Structure 1
């Protein structure tokens, strides 16, 4: 080989570059292709049907949908309906104690489980078990428990308390609180699990340092741990608020919205007017008002959470 040929630089093969480029393109597009069906289904079956419901709420739809716009007449009918306002008021009577009980008892259970007791796994399963039941099963069970002459009444009578009577299911002023008890029993374990996950994320060194300074365990939780769990409280409150607004089958199984309409909720009103009374437009208007309620709860909570996150920086 001549010196001129040996002095020439050797050309590297051009095989690795296309492969690297192909691998790069696959890494970039494969997640999008995998997520595309789910995104498309969400756009159609969630946001698409929300838009369709909003459209129907401005039509004269009765038993079947009509797509010719007719203004805000269905909303006027909705706001003139006394049953709607009763259902809206019941939402407050149901939601506030339900969320308060779930968060208060759930936090207490989470703190007790955070002490790393031996039977923690068994207790956690017991607390979470009601969440695994369908709301129809839970409502039916609580209907038997609270039914006059059965359940609690029978147990107390068998214990010798012959004059004991628990008739909340038949009392228009107290029936909604029967729904609160059943719903809180079903969802408290879920709230406790979320709180427990938040507590387990707290550094153990915080407890040790506070105890060295002489702080007791209740003081540590009250002044240090719980204030630092604002994101967990936000998540739990948001989920419970969503459960509150969409509650339907539990009420159907437990009280059927009665006596009368004393335990009716907006979801019950929407179903009744849409399918039982053939007023699809009014039912769609009620659905949109439920969506507006969710947004009205969601936006302030998100604003407060983002504001607290900015202040913490």
Structure 2
């Protein structure tokens, strides 16, 4: 009882800050607020202007590309690394620490490091050309057509280790008798993973999906550190669009509208997850 009473201030604070702030943002997205919030209602005008702006559409396209690639590659690479690590290899703790270390860095640090690595003057391109391949070109951050993939490389480098740890925890939770039975029955390892182990790891996959998806929607630091949205607006993302509109362009109404669209995107991810996790358990 004492613990519940002690938790009341935290709950009230969370409701006031998060729920109250969310409602406030949605309400003022229907106003013509500029430098300061004001109740000059304009209906859906901010949303119409938002979806008619090329910069916002480019940010959505970039987020879709980054999100799809990040989701698929994070799952595949993370699971493969976890499966290899689950073979009780030597120096497992060392390898696990090395793989997880990038996740301890901030996105700003990661972005700056990969900005240097991908810089054509002294990064990968320069090193390879110095080895004799003078025609080699690798400058994704300076090519508007592939710049989002340069940001993706940095994101995967930082986050894949964390996904590997989550997958490894799920694999370590599998009963060892399943592996023994599959070996006795002569079932190939890949079939055991595909038809037995992966279905049993469904809760881990769902949790990992939510973590990755929420991070994708909020991607901001990597873009700012690596390209600042450039070249031009080629690497623009919704979170940076919101920041620029609210603090640089001093257009709060437009920023609130974009924030609300991001909130809807997160809700599309969170609500099905909550239903699958808690609704299914309740029915069970």
TM-score of the aligned structures, taking structure 1 as reference length: 0.86
C-alpha RMSD of the superposition: 1.8
What is the deviation of 1:300? Answer: 3.5
1:165 lines up with 2:137 in the alignment: yes
1:226 lines up with 2:192 in the alignment: no
Listed one character per residue, the Cα deviations across residues 244-270 of structure 1 (whole Å, up to 9, x for unaligned) are 000001100011111111111110111
- The residue number in structure 2 matching 1:143 is 115
1:57 lines up with 2:39 in the alignment: no
Matches for 1:157-236 after TM superposition, within 5 Å: 157-236=129-208
- The residue number in structure 1 matching 2:105 is 133
What is the deviation of 1:301? Answer: 4.1
What is the deviation of 1:34? Answer: 2.1
Q: Take 1:169 and 1:264, find their aligned partners in 2: how far apart are those partners?
A: 12
Q: Take 2:234 and 2:277, find their aligned partners in 1: how far apart are those partners?
A: 35
Larger Rg: 1
- The residue number in structure 1 matching 2:218 is 246
Q: Take 1:62 and 1:265, find their aligned partners in 2: how far apart are those partners?
A: 21
Q: Take 1:56 and 1:123, find their aligned partners in 2: how far apart are those partners?
A: 49
TM-score of the aligned structures, taking structure 2 as reference length: 0.95
Matches for 1:95-134 after TM superposition, within 5 Å: 95-134=67-106
CA contact under 8 A between 1:55 and 1:67: conserved in structure 2? no
- The residue number in structure 2 matching 1:299 is 271
1:282 lines up with 2:242 in the alignment: no
Q: Take 2:12 and 2:43, find their aligned partners in 1: how far apart are those partners?
A: 31
What is the deviation of 1:134? Answer: 0.4
Q: Take 1:204 and 1:308, find their aligned partners in 2: how far apart are those partners?
A: 27
Q: Take 1:41 and 1:254, find their aligned partners in 2: how far apart are those partners?
A: 35
1:262 lines up with 2:234 in the alignment: yes
Q: Take 2:144 and 2:203, find their aligned partners in 1: how far apart are those partners?
A: 38
5+ long unaligned stretches in structure 1? 1-28
What is the deviation of 1:308? Answer: 7.2
What is the deviation of 1:276? Answer: 0.7
* Structure 1, 220-229 or 299-308: larger mean CA deviation: 299-308
5+ long unaligned stretches in structure 2? none
Of 268, 271, 274, 2:243 maps to: 271
Listed one character per residue, the Cα deviations across residues 275-313 of structure 1 (whole Å, up to 9, x for unaligned) are 1111111001000000001112233444456687699x6
* Structure 1, 282-291 or 163-172: larger mean CA deviation: 163-172
> How many correspondences in the alignment?
284
Q: Take 2:71 and 2:169, find their aligned partners in 1: how far apart are those partners?
A: 19
Structure-2 change in CA distance of 1:307 and 1:118 (3 Å): same
- The residue number in structure 2 matching 1:90 is 62
Listed one character per residue, the Cα deviations across residues 205-231 of structure 1 (whole Å, up to 9, x for unaligned) are 111111111123222222211121111
- The residue number in structure 2 matching 1:13 is none
